[in-house]
Amino acid sequence: MSRSLAEIRADFPGLKTREGGVWHYLDSGATAQKPRQVIDTMARAMGADYATVHRGVYARSAEMTLAYEAARRTIASFIGGDEHEIVFTRGATEAINLVAQSWGATNLKAGDRILLSTLEHHSNIVPWQILRERIGFEIDVCPLTEDGRIDLDAAEKLLTPAYKLVSLAHVSNVLGSVLDVERAVALAKSVGAKVLIDGCQAVPRLKVDVAALGCDFYVFSAHKLYGPTGIGALWAKAEILDAMPPWQGGGSMIDRVTFEKTTWAPAPTRFEAGTPAIVEAIGFAEAVDYIEAIGLDAIHAHELSLVDTLRGELRAFNSIRLFGPDHSAGIVSFSMDGVHPHDLGTILDEEGVAIRAGHHCAQPLMDHLGVPATARASFGLYSDDSDIAALLRGIERTKRIFG
């Protein structure tokens, strides 16, 4: 990395306990800690710089509008898109719901099919089920390979011109397995289907270029990217956004309103009804600047090294079952014989270690794995070997407690 790990860790006040000790945070896959640079930028935006955007004729409002739209450009550039193709949403969940309720409701019909996969997060399952109840299309599920990757050979055999959408996770939030997006897109395009990619777990660690990937929609959240909660982004090809109707009505998203008829603003404004998350957008962009200064290649290499180390250590425990591929992207999921993940998580918390324990909003995947839940250690750019050592000490203590 361009800076030492100690320097980077010092940027994150959340890595300390209230008493000033080290907190071993291994739940970045759920939400990442925030660097001081993001916190300070948001504090200024909420304080000395604060004003509304797009509406005021006074100087500070104009300055805040410039900052807000500069944030959109930063985030678009981060994934290789254009600023007019970025819609701010409350997060990836809302972005998928937006696509479902706008593009999906307009373009899907009874008899059509869409393809998801076994490892999808609930936010890439439930919105399509809600729409299916209204329209009557079919949802099919692509299986996984033995090591927990989306089986694109199986997808190739499934896909026909009846499929109108393929919607898949770039990186699994449970297994850390990485999708070959280019191949998935090529397969979908061969039958005329659109492609949505859930990039929540990818953008904090992998370079993303939506133009090179060839997908039609790409969604992600700020809070997994070392930014604030409550904001995310939908990227979509300009011609697709231009053809999509609004899904929420209110201020900002209009051109002209009368009681007889309302006309819409152009995209992306058409999809941003109401006063936007101004401070959060500015924090979002600051988080992007922060990780780009460190370098995504360096972050990914660092996390891969930690994954390899942890998986190697966990293999030494006869009582532990590992899930997913060996070289997963920043995530290690496992279970411990005779110990529910919630019990393990509670004991680890007593040791100052934070992991995620549960179904990770991926219950169909848990059913596939044959477990009710897993323990998940997920790394961030600030994670280090001391976090792994603390986790292993906590596992040893758990073994002693449960005999």
The answer to whether 142 is a known catalytic residue is no
From 142, 200, 215, 361, the catalytic residue: 361
Secondary structure, 3-state, the chain: CCCCHHHHHHCCHHHECCCCCECEECECCCCCCCCHHHHHHHHHHHCCCCCCCCCCCCHHHHHHHHHHHHHHHHHHHHCCCCHHHEEEECCHHHHHHHHHHHHHHHHCCCCCEEEEECCCCHHHCHHHHHHHHHHCCEEEEECECCCCCECHHHHHHHCCCCEEEEEEECECCCCCCECCHHHHHHHHHHCCCEEEEECCCCCCCCCCCHHHHCCCEEEEECHHHCCCCCCEEEEECHHHHHHCCCCCCCCCCEEEECCCCEEECCCCHHHCCCCCCHHHHHHHHHHHHHHHHHCHHHHHHHHHHHHHHHHHHHCCCCCEEEECCCCCCCEEEEEECCECHHHHHHHHHHCCEECEEECCCCHHHHHHHCCCCEEEEECCCCCCHHHHHHHHHHHHHHHHHHC
Active site residues: 361
